[in-house]
Amino acid sequence: MKTLAVMLKDLRLIVRDRSGLIALLVVPIVVIIVVASATQSGDGSKSIVFPIVNEDQGPVATAVIRAFREHLDVREVSHAAAHHLVAEVNDAPAALILPPELSKRYLAQKPSTVELLTDPAQWQELEAIKVVMLLADRETASLGDPFSQELLTVRERSITGDNLSFSSLEQNIPGFSLMFVLLTLIFSVSLALREEEVWTTSGRLSIAPLTPASLLGGKLLARLIVGTAQLLLLLLFGHFVYGLRLGQSPVAMIAVAIAAVASMTGFAAVVAAFVRTREQAVPVGLAVAFVLASLGGLFWPLYDLPRSMQAIARVLMTTWSISAIQDVMLRGRSLTGVSTELVVLVSYGLISFLIALRLFRYGGEAGS
């Protein structure tokens, strides 16, 4: 009977936390919807941007472009625009250059070389493009190449670095490292602030001669240091155990790690401001971390996502974080090469911190 009474008392406490109950179901459903959409409703290779420079303007180029359009998001652009899309903004994994006189040479059965400018760091998208190229090659072989004479030869050239081949480790190790750092930050910040309320230390701190900014800032800086160390150690583990490349600039990698963790720490403070109980912290923390990880390209490449989700992904700090890490690791970029990502991530962290400061009432009720 006593056990039953304790159970009923605990159930009453749980039921009283309506937000916690909603979070138990709604939050996992949101995660399931996002992950299901990401894994099942994606446009596949159709969402891969594939710039083609058509210097031929002849029937063969038209046929090649038509064949690629069946499978990829083909954009006919200038040489400079193709270079920009592949090497500068990394929106496309590769660009195809169809040279002048291609049609004339093809129709006269003379072999031609087409150039594929690549960003090997987007190796998964690149693999998808190569599969499409094989299909197109079979189609063109049956067009006017009766005995499979090599009329079109593809010359591949990386324009983003010396590394030409990558494996899934380059996606998975940084992706999962970032995901665990984010998860740790959301849990640790939310739970630590809630525990201070339980231990009533928050009340004492609120009357200490400290501004709220100093108080919250100090706590978050500690998390920033721990999170940065965690991320760098996880990447080093990947390097020494699995041979993960870390790029050519340790300074850039450390700066990226600090900026990425800063953005996540600020975001974790915003989440903590919304979480009112410890019971809410677990489902909300898991939901936020999984949604940000799956939409931000930490689990799979962005092209796997539906276009609408890709648009959302472009403003997430997880997307910017993995992109900055890959820029240093895979594209060999220096500190100046990742300056845009650093500015975005640090700004993200600062703005999140200011929002959290506005929402969080230390020593009183959390949230607003």
Partner 1 sequence: MRSLPIILVVWLLPVAPAKAANPLDYTRTILEQARTIVAGNQTHNEKLAALSSLFGKFLDADAMGREALGQHWSSFTPAQQQEFLALFRELLQRTYVQKLLLFEHPDFVYAGQQFVRNGAIVDTKIVTPRDQFDIRYRLIPAGGNWLATAITVEDVSLTANLGSQLNDLLARMTVDDLLTLMRRKYGNTSGEA
Residues forming contacts to partner 1 in the complex (CB under 8 A) are 57-60, 62-63, 103-104, 107-110, 142-144, 146-147, 149
Backbone angles phi, psi at 73, to 5 degrees: -85, 80
Closest CB to partner 1 among residues 10, 101: 101
- CA pair distance 52, 68, nearest whole angstrom: 10
Rounded distance between C-alpha atoms, residue 55 and residue 1, angstroms: 85
Nearest CA to 91 among 244, 290, 300, 311? 311
Which pair of tokens denotes residue 325? Answer: 């890490």
Tokens of 96: 């195809």
Nearest distance from residue 70's CB to partner 1, in Å?
A: 13
Q: How near is the Cβ of 56 to partner 1 at its closest, in Å?
A: 8
Determine the Cα angle at 12 with ends 9 and 13, to 5°. Answer: 90
Query: Residues 6 or more apart from 270 whose CB is under 8 A from it?
Result: 352, 355, 356, 359
Angle at 217 between CA 212 and CA 221, to 5 degrees: 160
Q: Among residues 100 and 217, whose Cβ is nearest to partner 1? A: 100
Instruction: Give the H/E segment covering residue 299.
Output: none
Whichever of 142 and 168 has its CB closer to partner 1, that residue is 142
Task: Kindly write down the DSSP assignment for every residue of 7-24, as one continuous string.
Answer: HHHHHHHHHH-HHHHHHH
* Tokens (6 digits) for 57: 């303007």
Which of 52/185 has CB closer to partner 1?
52
Q: How far is CA 173 from CA 161, 177, 179, in A?
A: 20, 6, 10
CB contact at 8 A, 245 and 329: yes
Shortest separation between residue 116's beta carbon and partner 1, angstroms: 21
Q: Measured from the CB atom, is 102 or 273 closer to partner 1?
A: 102
- Minimum Å gap between C-beta 110 and partner 1 is 7
Query: CB-wise, 6 or 143, nearer to partner 1?
Result: 143
Min CB(85)–partner 1 separation in Å: 24
27/151 with CB nearer partner 1: 151
Shortest reach from residue 53's CB to partner 1, in Å: 15
Question: At its nearest, how many Å lie between partner 1 and the CB of residue 142?
Answer: 4
